[in-house]
Structure 1
Amino acid sequence: MSSHNETHSGPGGSDAINTEIITLTRFLTEEQTKHKEATGDFTLLCHSLQFAFKSIAYYIRRASLINLSGLAGSANSTGDDQKKLDVIGNDIFISAMRSSGCVRILVSEEEEDPIIFNEYPNARYAVACDPIDGSSNLDAGVSVGTIFGIYKLAEGAQGTKEDLLRPGTDMVAAGFTMYGASSELVLTMKDGPVNGFTMDAALGEFILTHPNMQMPKKRHIYSVNEGNSLWWADPIKEWCNSMKVPEKEGGKPYSARYIGSMVADAYRTLLYGGIFAYPADKKSPKGKLRILYECAPMSMVFEQAGGQAVNSKMDRMIEVVPESIHDKSGIFMGSYDEVQKVIDIHNKHKR
């Protein structure tokens, strides 16, 4: 039997050629054939998402060259200064979701109200997204990304924002992209494995590079903005302090890693383990991150990769029902044992 990897030597050295590459397109097609009842709509929706990610990645790579990253002068629904790239990312997303013909409702971080595609009254999906998360970091060349969750509408759904005020457990798929040194896409379907894809710029395709991602059960890395510690509740202060002062004599303190771009912090935590936290505090009693398009999709990814995700009340994050489409929450997500430590300290304080 011949191998699919051939090695060709040339003046530039040798290069192993893999002819058995699994692209995202191929992956989605193969997934669809596993479901006899599939209509192909979900696959079509994922192809439209893929196009949006590729487009955004392209514009981010060119941004500093053609001056796209300066402020657009308007503030978005959550008060962030809106960058021109935010607007572009948002427009790309709206256009991709509309043209898929499978999406009835789109909630975007950049839009006060949900976008209802009345031209497709029978479309069965709703999408929630943060088109360019971490955009305040763009000018510094820090990785930004897109976070998304996909819901299937209930039978008889009227196509209103109330159709999306549901827990993350109702999502059919979720994930995020990170536009960094390379463009990475992390995707998971409900109750399925977490798969990581990397953009191959030469082919213009996302390639499956991290099949079935599983997080380490514990890791001594924490990622949190300690600048907010003045406003933290006691259990959080105790938790944070416990990572710097090991219980055992001669124990090592945790390493601190905080980028301040959720997708970048999440991707690193997913790969290496540890914990990412953005707790609610006295200054932001509800928390800062949005449930529908930041916390819920990340929770699904982290749980299905073997980790945990909880809110500041220590409720399982993916079960939390948002009260409005831009509702906020605190979050702790990461390796199973690291999140458990936070839960244990909170339970101790309750007693």
Structure 2
Amino acid sequence: MNYFFLFCICFLPLLSFRWGRVAEVPTKPEVATPSTRSGTKPVNAPSPSIVARLVSSLRKPPSPPSPVRSIFQQPLSSIVFSTRGTKAPSPPPPSTWFSPPARRQKPPPAESKPRPSPMPTFLTPPFTRPPSRAMPNVVAQAGADEVVTMTAFLGTEGSNVGVDLVVLMTHLQTACKHISSILASPTELQATLKGADSVHGVGRDARKPLDLVSNNIIKAALRSSGKVAAIASEKDDRPVWLGGGPYVVVFDPLDGSRNLDATVPTGTIFGIYRRLPEADHLPTDEKAFANVMQRGERLVAAGYVLYSSSTIMAISVGSGLHGFTLDYTIGEFAYSHHDIRIPERGQIYSVNEAKYFAWPVGLRRYIDNVRQGKGQTRKQYSARFIGSFVADLHRTIMYGGIAMNPRSHSRLLYEANPLSYLVEQAGGRGTDGKRRILEINPIEIHQKLPLFLGSAADVAELVSFGDIQQQTSPEVHTF
């Protein structure tokens, strides 16, 4: 067997080569013709042997790889599972992993976009309200995460009344921020109380040290604005003439300060009038009196600030009532309550019931009816009384109902007129029991009167009982 293989290896190539040479010799001689001379007829080429074909096939260079590569020959990171209609992925670049610079080089960090800082979202209490008017442009153009400050709001909504009012309101909110910081800081509050003047007056009208501090803060802010001609404060005996500004401001710097030691919410109230050019020829004192003794109908702006668990400023420049909450992270009043509308009806009345037996008959009948569910709505009302009129009124505006002080304790210029203006801007009603507050002509700078504010239907029902004023004659305040 071994000899047979040896024979095949040695003699078969010779035989195959010889067989190929024999095949080249024609068996019959061909006659030369013109066609053969010209070379038109091809000559039969010798056919290679089987072994030669095998050897030549083994000696061929390997064919280049197919351009279509399998996904299993690529790195996993370069595999793209594409859908129909997408381009095929390009081959990965040659790896430089084993080069020394590549080993020492760290991969670049992934680019990440900075996340916007979340802004607080201010929500109004859950209650049913009438549909509000269209949202102002400054709010509609702002994004979901943007905060609209009071200055930005006034720059858009206050453009009809001029830039001077915007500057004035900006100084007022700065003063209210200062008062809020004093009330919220125990160390600052104690230092303020120690450094304040002594208490003036007696009884209910006694001026506390913090009243005087708040009064000075607001007066300094109004004076520095350069937009105020005259001011009148509930804590001062007479109005003060400042100069040639276009506006007149009346204010109560700190309402409800008698309960401040018990951390009861307090508030600031202010009203803004236009200066009376027809009074410029009068002496300074008379000119100041004439400018502050205007009816509430002539108010161009008003507002109150509630210092409570949060500091809220509600203002109106004649286009509805709007609320702003002091955001301590940015130090600005942020737009939180758009176009506040007081409900037509509520189920809350706010009054000091300790004086029940001193009330007139009409007021007692009204309270008895709504408390027992025998009023026009046939719903039983609840009593809520804080003792700070700004806090009681703010709750009444938010939830509906009525807030009242049947005694002649509310000052017309500093409390009744600005608050009635704000309530009417929210769709409510303000009265002294017989007349609309904004139609009353002031006769004294510290004139007092009863005050009833709240939902329009609730106030109308109260007035229908007739005798609801505990004291009907206006009272002159003297120190």
The ranges of structure 1 where at least 4 consecutive aligned residues each deviate by more than 6 angstroms after the TM superposition are 13-17
Amino acid in structure 2 at the alignment position of 1:102: K
Q: State yes or no: 1:163 paired with 2:291.
A: yes
Q: Could you tell me how far apart the structure 2 residues matched to 1:15 and 1:108 are?
A: 35
Structure 2 CA distance for aligned equivalents of residues 228 and 170 of structure 1: 34
* Alignment partner, residue 197 of structure 1: 324
Secondary structure of the residue that 2:366 maps to in structure 1? helix
Q: Is the contact between residue 361 and residue 467 of structure 2 (CA under 8 Å) also seen in structure 1?
A: no
Residue 93 (structure 2) aligns with: none
Q: 1:335 to 1:9 in 2, by over 3 A?
A: same
Opposite residue 317 of structure 1, the aligned amino acid is I
| 1:256 counterpart residue number | 383
Tell me, yes or no, if the aligned pair for 2:234 and 2:251 is still in contact at 8 Å.
Answer: yes
Partner letter of residue 208 of structure 2? K
- SS of the counterpart of 1:75? coil
Pairing of 1:253-292 with structure 2 (within 5 A) = 253-280=380-407, 287-292=408-413
Pick the aligned partner of 2:265 from 128, 143, 149. Answer: 143
Asked if 1:101 is matched to 2:226, the reply is yes
Give the counterpart of 1:320 among 425, 428, 440.
440
TM-fit CA distance, 1:81: 2.7
Work out whether residues 69 and 138 of structure 1, in 8 Å CA contact, stay in contact via their aligned partners in 2: no
The answer to which structure has the higher helix fraction is 2
Q: Give the number of the structure whose alpha-carbon radius of gyration is greater.
A: 2
The structure-2 alpha-carbon separation of the partners of 1:66 and 1:344, relative to structure 1 and needing over 3 Å to count, comes to closer
Tell me which residue corresponds to 2:199: 74
- 1:341 — aligned with what? 461
TM-aligned CA distance change 1:348 to 1:237, over 3 Å: closer
Q: Residue 161 of structure 1: CA displacement?
A: 1.0
TM-score (norm 2): 0.64
TM-score by length of 1: 0.86
More strand by share: 1
Report the secondary structure of 1:337's partner residue: helix
Equivalent residue number for residue 3 of structure 1:
none
Once the two structures are aligned, what percentage of the paired residues are identical?
34
**CA deviation after TM superposition for structure 1 residue 162, in Å:** 2.2
CA shift digits 1:158-216 (9 cap, x unpaired): 332122222100100011000100000000113x2100000001100001100100011
Q: Which stretch of structure 1 is more off in the superposition, 193-202 or 157-166?
A: 157-166
Tell whether the 8 Å contact from 2:360 to 2:467 is kept in structure 1 after alignment.
no
Query: Per-residue CA shift, 1:261-302, capped at 9, x if unaligned?
Result: 01100111111111001013xxxxxx0010111011110111
Contact 1:8 1:15 in 2 (8 A): no
2:419 to 292, 298, 311: 298
Amino acid at match of 2:237: E
**Counterpart residue identity of residue 22, structure 1:** V
CA distance in 2, matches of 1:92, 1:128: 14
Listed as ranges, the gaps of 5+ residues in structure 2 are 1-112, 122-142, 281-286, 470-479
Q: Decide which of 160, 169, 173 is 1:50's aligned counterpart.
A: 173
Are positions 1:188 and 2:310 aligned together?
no
Q: Distance in 2 between matches of 1:157 and 1:198?
A: 38
Q: Does 1:83 align with 2:208?
A: yes
CA distance in 2, matches of 1:85, 1:348: 34
Please state if 1:233 is matched with 2:233: no
Further displaced range: 175-184 or 39-48: 39-48
Matched, 1:224 2:347: no
SS at match of 2:219: helix
- Which residues of structure 1 form unaligned runs of 5+? 1-5, 281-286
Secondary structure of 2:259's counterpart equals helix
